[in-house]
Amino acid sequence: MMSINTTIAPINTELKSAADIAGIGDTTGVDKSASVNSGASFADTLKAASTNFVSVLNKAEATSIAGIKGEASTYEVASTVMEAERTLKMTVAVRDKIVAAYLEISRMQI
């Protein structure tokens, strides 16, 4: 006779980063100091995100130059450029949300 396993896996209740939720993948280079449960203010979180954005772009630029010089593989160059592209898209999306929220608040009646 066939037995049916009725065990239910436990639910993971840990908070995940936006990259994990979006399925971006490897987040080893992401600065996790601005996580949800750190208690940082909104301004501190934006500052940390912008610092991370600049460091990712600088890393991609340095790797691209190393690739031109023949010091980095094509895979490394493509990987860092794709990471920079994802970071740029995320930054633009956050900026768009902030601008939309500002415009919504500016239209409110007092």
The confidence score (pLDDT) of residue 31 equals 53
Give the pLDDT confidence score for residue 39 in this predicted structure: 73
Q: How many domains does the chain have?
A: 1
Residue 68 in domain: yes
Classify residue 26: in a domain, yes or no.
no
Low-confidence ranges of the chain (pLDDT < 70): 1-38
Domain span at 86: 41-106
In a domain, 48, yes or no: yes
| 22 assigned to some structural domain | no
Distance CA 53, CA 88 (A): 7
For the packed helices 42-69 and 74-106, what is the interaxial angle rounded to 10 degrees?
Answer: 150
Does residue 81 belong to any structural domain of this protein?
A: yes
pTM of the model: 0.58
Domain contains 2:
no
pLDDT score recorded for residue 24: 46
77 occurs within a structural domain? yes
Q: Is 67 helix (H, G, I), strand (E, B) or coil?
A: helix
In a domain? residue 56: yes
Where do runs of H (alpha helix) occur along the chain?
18-22, 42-69, 74-106
